[in-house]
Amino acid sequence: MQSKYYKQYLTEILSSTIKPIHVFFVGIIGQCAIPIHNPTFNKIYAEFFVKFYNGKHLTDNIAIQSCTLGILAQLDYAYLINDHSCISILRSIFINASSKVAKENHKNNFLLPILKIFNSLCIKSKTIACYLNSDQLVDTLLQYVTNQTDLRLNTNACVLLGHIVSDKQLDHLRISYKLTMKFVSLLDDYKEETNDILQSYLSLAIHTQIQSVIVDTYQLTDLIELSDDHPIIYDIIWKLSFHSNIVEQLIMRHDNFLKKLSLLPEMPAACGILQNVQLKNVPRLPIKDRLFSDIAVVSSRND
């Protein structure tokens, strides 16, 4: 794949009209080959993808879809994360293909890899999560969240929804309670997906509406039980602890957890939670280092 002849072939295609037969050839090679992680080829593949799919070839042809996944397989996430044109077209492809799959009522292995790409990008960058957000995509994801036909699509759609949904959309769609309880269910039922689910939960926990549901349904206990095996729980609870009623529950119901946090002075999330407890004017536990509370809103170190 890295030969100068193949590179020349791709370059020549880009200078002409890209036809489906070109997608078949390039896509099949992309599926069969190990990703080459070459910046030059990443750029060429991205340009090839954008030029072919630029609003004109949103096809439901299964062969084309399969070859498209082959092209995407050759794109590094580190490159894709900065190519908003490519991401925008991929979002349009997903929405378009979803409407056709819904009408045909059959499983489509084309959608799941795209969802996984989106989720991986959102974990790496909160900026991508904001960029992906659109009412149309949120509506599409909700169809999969409420549809139990394909549990893989159901789970990954819920995870992506957690990454991208906004306060305004939570209010307008009135889905805060159902979405929170869906995450509770996913954590119970899909142990192998726990890390990905919690990464999304971390994004979701910033919303006041979600925090209120967690307060009303006493979900802190279940989250704390996961903290030994999943350190990201501390970051989630840090975000939640900006809600005064969450802090109240920590004080009244989870004294042992607070004592445990006092033994973790090197963990920013632990110190942040304790600081929020102190801000309630309850002289519980000492905090050695003051932290700026707005650090907790950051979901990714890459942003």
Instruction: State pLDDT tens for residues 3-33.
Output: 677 888 888 888 888 888 888 788 888 777 7
In a domain, 68, yes or no: no
Q: Which residues contact 95 (CB under 8 A, 6 or more apart)?
A: 136, 137, 140
Q: How far apart are CA 134 and CA 140, in angstroms?
A: 10
In a domain, 281, yes or no: yes
Q: How far apart are CA 234 and CA 268, in angstroms?
A: 9
Query: Residue 179 — φ and ψ, nearest 5°?
Result: -70, -40
Q: What angle do CA 299, 81, 115 make, to 5 degrees?
A: 80
Confidence tier at 141 by pLDDT (50, 70, 90): very high
Q: How far apart are CA 263 and CA 241, in angstroms?
A: 18
Considering only 84-93, 177-186, 273-282, which range has the smallest mean pLDDT?
A: 273-282
Domains of the chain: total:
1
Q: What is the CB neighbour count within 10 angstroms for residue 189? A: 11
Confidence tier at 274 by pLDDT (50, 70, 90): very high
pLDDT, position 290: 45
Q: What is the CB neighbour count within 10 angstroms for residue 103? A: 9
Q: Helix (H) and strand (E) counts for the chain?
A: 19, 0
154 to each of 33, 37, 208, how far by Cα in Å? 30, 31, 24
In a domain, 263, yes or no: yes
In a domain, 76, yes or no: no
In a domain, 24, yes or no: no
- Per residue in 151-202, pLDDT (tens digit) is 889 999 999 999 999 999 999 999 999 999 999 999 999 888 999 999 999 9
- Per residue in 36-50, pLDDT (tens digit) is 778 888 888 899 888
Question: Can you give the pTM of this predicted structure?
Answer: 0.85
In a domain, 94, yes or no: no
Asked if the model's pLDDT at residue 277 lies above 90, the reply is yes
In a domain, 72, yes or no: no
Mean pLDDT of the chain: 86
Could you tell me what percent of the chain has a pLDDT over 70? Answer: 86
In a domain, 297, yes or no: yes
Residues spanned by the domain of 264: 217-303
3-state helix, strand, coil in the chain (%, to 5): 70, 0, 30
Asked if the model's pLDDT at residue 294 lies above 90, the reply is no
Q: How far apart are CA 250 and CA 281, in angstroms?
A: 14
